[in-house]
Chain A
Amino acid sequence: MGGVPPSDDELLRRVAAGDRAGLEELFRRYRLVAYRVAYRLLGNEADALDAVQDGFVNALRNLEKFRGQSTFKTWLLRVVSNASFDLGRKRRRQEACSGGQTVTADCPVPDDLPAADAELERADLRKQLNEALAELPEAQRETFVLHADGGLTYREVADVLGISIGTVMSRVFYARQKLRALLADRVGPS
């Protein structure tokens, strides 16, 4: 079935009218990028999916706050980012996980059980990156993730976070420096 895909605005109008198909298409369009951002901020799949759900719900319920100011994608990622931090703070307040550590990005719940060596290696890399990301200050991590995983430009990140583009660049620069140091044994110089 060809044709031009509907615009975000068209889909949002359909969602506002209660169109389930419109919501499904909008969700398919942005669920992966929202999930990547949430996962990088939370470190595990279950919490990331919860954050995606809360982010979509809050974004759709507060559409009047973003209209005319940004795209739906930047608005959605901003809300997903907030939902992720809210969820992360809630998790930190909960009791320690089985290893005596707290369920946070510092102590991620294993996502899946790898079945092969390659998958084991991938899972290990992912775990190290999650731990390294958790070492970053919250604002630095959010800025970096929105740029690196959310695919937002510096300008979009600046608009989403309400900061200057210079601050965005500075945060991303220092985030990369710290990640490079934390992952030095896994990642060679570019």
Chain B
Amino acid sequence: MNNETPDPSGLPREPDEYPAEFWNLVQPPAVSDSKWAAVEAAIARRCLVPTTLPIRRWIGRGLGAMIAATVVVVVYAWQMTDEPTREIAKPVPKVNPEVAPEPRDLEDPLREYAVLPMARPGEVMIQSVRGGVSPFVVGPSQPVPEELTLAGTQDIRVETVRPAGNTGRMPDSKTIADTGGVPMIYASVPR
């Protein structure tokens, strides 16, 4: 039991209620040295700044660097040994693009002929047409009027054509004219 010394505050001292003998009897059980050592070691482990921590840290970093270097070496070695079996894209040889030849002058089949302008309707006066003879006059009833209209592709539908060969004559063709009764004249264009 605590033996209170005179309190500096001047308050009365509390007398002990129990004899020291009884209090000594009920003291907590003694703790073995090994248990004290374990507690002290645990406190040291939790409280003391580990002076070896930087060294451990450096060791850890060194080990980490060694492991990383080993991995790099292994990967590099694997790449080197695996080289023959791997398909490597071969470089595409540089080929000069083929240059098209200079355009040749196409032979003009009409170069020996003069280019004549087409006469317009007002520039041609038909004086007479033999009825039923010319296939180039369509639409009208005989006798034809003084003026004829030049037929277009929409007016004439060619059904059959029989080439004239080298006869110098016009090809024999069968045409159907749909001129709506308007007299027209058409001419075959040499091709």
Interface 1/0s, chain A 92-133, versus B by CB < 8 A? 000000000000000000011000000001100110010000
Residues of the A chain whose Cβ atoms lie less than 8 Å from the Cβ of B31: 35, 45, 49
Given the known interface contacts A56-B43, A57-B47, A147-B2, the answer about A172 and B28 at a Cβ–Cβ threshold of 8 Å is: no
Tell me if B182 is interfacial: C-beta within 8 Å of chain A. Answer: no
| B7 engages A122 (CB within 8 Å) | no
| B42 engages A53 (CB within 8 Å) | yes
Tell me if B29 is interfacial: C-beta within 8 Å of chain A. Answer: yes
| B48 engages A15 (CB within 8 Å) | yes
Q: How large is the interface on B (under 10, 10 to 19, 20 to 34, 35 or more residues)?
A: 35 or more
| A172 engages B26 (CB within 8 Å) | no
Interface 1/0s, chain A 147-178, versus B by CB < 8 A? 11111111100000000011001001100100
CB contacts under 8 Å to A, within B1-42, are 1-2, 4-5, 7-9, 11, 14-19, 22-23, 25-29, 31, 35-36, 39-40, 42
Query: CB-nearest residue of chain B relative to A57?
Result: B46
Q: How large is the interface on A (under 10, 10 to 19, 20 to 34, 35 or more residues)?
A: 35 or more
Query: CB-nearest residue of chain A relative to B24?
Result: A122
Q: How far is the CA of A152 from the CA of B8 in the complex (A)?
A: 13
Residues of the B chain whose Cβ atoms lie less than 8 Å from the Cβ of A60: 43, 47
Tell me if A78 is interfacial: C-beta within 8 Å of chain B. Answer: no
Tell me if A27 is interfacial: C-beta within 8 Å of chain B. Answer: yes
Q: Is the interface of A mostly helix, strand, loop or mixed?
A: helix
Query: CB-nearest residue of chain B relative to A31?
Result: B36
Q: How far is the CA of A169 from the CA of B50 in the complex (A)?
A: 44
Residues of the B chain whose Cβ atoms lie less than 8 Å from the Cβ of A148: 1-2, 23
Tell me if A72 is interfacial: C-beta within 8 Å of chain B. Answer: no
Shortest distance from the beta carbon of A112 to any chain B beta carbon, whole Å: 6
Residues of the B chain whose Cβ atoms lie less than 8 Å from the Cβ of A153: 4-5, 7
Tell me if B68 is interfacial: C-beta within 8 Å of chain A. Answer: no
Tell me if A24 is interfacial: C-beta within 8 Å of chain B. Answer: yes
| A45 engages B28 (CB within 8 Å) | yes
| Residue in B23, B27, B39, B51 whose beta carbon sits within 8 Å of that of A53 in the complex | B39
| A172 engages B14 (CB within 8 Å) | yes
Residues of the B chain whose Cβ atoms lie less than 8 Å from the Cβ of A35: 28, 31
Interface 1/0s, chain B 97-132, versus A by CB < 8 A? 000000000000000000000000000000000000
Given the known interface contacts A15-B47, A20-B48, A169-B14, the answer about A39 and B28 at a Cβ–Cβ threshold of 8 Å is: yes
| B28 engages A36 (CB within 8 Å) | yes
Residues of the A chain whose Cβ atoms lie less than 8 Å from the Cβ of B14: 154, 169, 172-173
Query: CB-nearest residue of chain A relative to B6?
Result: A153
Shortest distance from the beta carbon of A184 to any chain B beta carbon, whole Å: 12
Q: Which 5 A-B pairs have the closest CB atoms?
A: A39-B28, A18-B49, A129-B26, A176-B17, A60-B47
B-side residues, CB < 8 A to A, are 1-2, 4-5, 7-9, 11, 14-19, 22-23, 25-29, 31, 35-36, 39-40, 42-44, 46-51
A-side residues, CB < 8 A to B, are 15, 17-20, 23-24, 27, 31, 35-36, 39-40, 45, 48-49, 52-53, 56-57, 60-61, 111-112, 121-122, 125-126, 129, 147-155, 165-166, 169, 172-173, 176, 179-180, 186-187, 190
Give 11 A-B contacts (CB < 8 Å), ordered by A residue: A27-B39, A27-B40, A27-B43, A45-B31, A111-B29, A121-B25, A122-B25, A149-B2, A155-B9, A165-B7, A187-B19
